[in-house]
Amino acid sequence: MEEQSRTLSAMTPKVLRAWYVACPSGELVADKPLVKRIHGRPILLFRGADGRAAALLDRCPHRNVPISCGGVKDGRAWCGYHGWEFEPDGSCTTVPGLDADANGGATGLAARRAMAFPVREQQGFVWVWTDLAHAPDTEPFHFAHADDPDYLTVRRALTTKGSVHMVIENALDVPHTAFLHGGLFRTNTKRRPIRCVVRRFADKVECQYIGEQRPSGLVARLLAPGGGELEHYDRFHLPSISEVEYRLGTDSHLLLRGACTPIDDFETVLYAVVSIKTPLPRMLVRPIIEPIALKIFGQDQWILDKQTDTLKSFGEAKFASTDLDVLGMHILRLMTRAARGEAGDPSADPVEREVTMWV
């Protein structure tokens, strides 16, 4: 593959017509405002009177101060400057001191509405649809087996430097695991060839690794104590979901998913959902898998911080890629097309490409 160069401003295609995780459900409590940034925009999260999650642009339409300067009371957000109150749908219900019958009253003018985002709450997360100009035409990503009692599921949130593309490419990059995570997934010894089949679809890209024996790392031994050949898939789903799947027979199955939410061009929150099914008792697996997962996430966070700092110091991005970088450019291509509002590949059939990797 040839060297690719692009400016830093082109590193993060902004896919707005999409659902992003704003926060874990447990982080959003009644009568307490919570502000998160997605694509650089401040979003005020709160629960309405019925307990449902709501999201407003954190900008009062009256005098352009953050609504969050006030608070939440009885399921309505109120601005700390003049006390205007807003329902979850953005409608202004109270303007203190204004005659209810004068000048259209509190709710009579559309200009008094706060901008409201569509919200969904599922599987322990609050999702926000970030395109204010278009209604949702999809639903948030569903994490398979996250609610399955046969699986142990661990959820964690990690904030790291790096664009969404950089974080996802890291999550789906096999070669680095022998070095950055050496001993946990793989080691740089006894490498064997495996066949990598990349398939491109309109809204996702996946790589299937064929002929991969169980790696020698600790996580692999936990997944498959008896060894054998793994079914291994790495997938990217628009707009920002990474998915790693390992399966060995019917008793061992590991799914590592990451929902990436862009705070801005160079900071991302990775909401990780790890689901595992093994022949081992769950009481033995949880004390092992949680600290290992945190160690892996910490190592990835460290290297992404280094990568981002280097890119900023040079002021441009240069990548010399090889055939081992099987998914990165396909992910960027999908994100760029989605950011432009372009339709996906017109063919329903996947576009395949094969390479050989030694792992």
Structural domain for 38, as ranges: 19-129
Residues 180 and 89 in one domain: no
pLDDT at 190: 75
- If one counts the domains in the chain, the total is 2
Residues 91 and 176 in one domain: no
Residues 160 and 300 in one domain: yes
pLDDT at 103: 52
Inter-residue contact 43 to 55 (CB < 8 Å): yes
Tell me, yes or no, whether 195 lies in a domain.
Answer: yes
Tell me, yes or no, whether 172 lies in a domain.
Answer: yes
Q: pLDDT tens string for the chain (359 positions)?
A: 445 555 666 567 899 999 999 999 999 999 999 999 999 999 999 999 999 999 999 999 999 999 999 999 999 999 999 999 999 999 999 999 887 665 555 555 788 999 999 999 999 999 999 999 999 999 999 999 999 999 999 999 999 999 999 999 999 999 998 898 887 767 777 778 889 999 999 999 999 999 887 666 666 666 666 666 789 999 999 999 999 999 887 788 999 999 999 999 999 999 999 999 888 777 777 787 788 888 888 999 999 999 999 998 988 888 888 989 999 999 999 999 999 988 665 454 567 778 888 77
Residues 85 and 198 in one domain: no
Ranges of beta strands (E only) in 39-172 are: 41-47, 53-57, 71-73, 76-78, 85-86, 92-94, 116-117, 119-122, 125-129, 152-161
pLDDT at 98: 85
Residues 161 and 272 in one domain: yes
Residues 190 and 324 in one domain: yes
Tell me, yes or no, whether 136 lies in a domain.
Answer: no
**CATH code, domain carrying 267:** 3.90.380.10
Tell me, yes or no, whether 141 lies in a domain.
Answer: no
CA-CA distance, 56 to 75, in Å (whole number)?
13
CA-CA distance, 67 to 33, in Å (whole number)?
9
Residues 166 and 50 in one domain: no
CA-CA distance, 208 to 245, in Å (whole number)?
10
**CATH code, domain carrying 95:** 2.102.10.10
Inter-residue contact 205 to 234 (CB < 8 Å): no
Residues 110 and 200 in one domain: no
Tell me, yes or no, whether 2 lies in a domain.
Answer: no
